[in-house]
Structures are given as structure tokens and as C-alpha cells.
Amino acid sequence: MSSSVSELFSLGKVRTDTVKRICRELLRRFPERFTGDFESDKQVVNDLVTTPSKRLRNRIAGYITRLKMVEAERAAATEVAVEGPELSQSDTVTE
């Protein structure tokens, strides 16, 4: 077997429970303060949380940005699903 495990599986980034817990709490308390833009989210995290390092602050802001992007994608997908597929005139069959 010449393939390594990392070639067989596409592994995602691992985030610590601390980062996930802090992000969930911040989004629960202040959902309107986060935009999905990393730079602005980083500034909001800096204002709300005292972190021991820039790296931890950036990881928190990055995960919040990712969660907001996923939330926006889901909302857009739900909106399209509710509207239903639109049929153009070339798609309709006339007899």
C-alpha cells in the first residue's frame, strides 16, 4: 500500500474545545456584533475577550467568521428551497 493515510482522507482543521466553546458563547450572547468578515470579527473578539495571545484571538475570530459564513450559506439555501425552482419557458413542455 503506497498511499499514506493523509492522501486517502481529506482531513479538516482541528480546533480545540476551548475555541469552540468560546465561539459558541460569544455568538449566543452577541450574534449581531459579528459580521462574517475576519478583520471586523477579530476587532470585536479583541473588545469582548481578553486572550493571552494573538494566536488564540485569531483562532476564535477565524472560527466565528467561518460559522457566520456557513450560517449565511444555509440561509441562502433555505431561501432558494422555499421559493422553489423556477421553470423557464424552454423547460416547459407544450402539447
Q: What is the CA radius of gyration of the chain?
A: 20
DSSP helix/strand/coil, 49: coil
Q: Which CATH architecture has domain 17-75?
A: Orthogonal Bundle (1.10)
Question: What mean pLDDT comes out for the span 73-89?
Answer: 75
What pLDDT digit, counting tens, does each position of 44-61 carry? 999 999 999 999 999 999
C-alpha cell at 83: 421559493
Q: For the full predicted model, state whether its pTM sits above 0.75.
A: no
Domain chopping of the chain, boundaries: 17-75
1: pLDDT strictly greater than 60: no
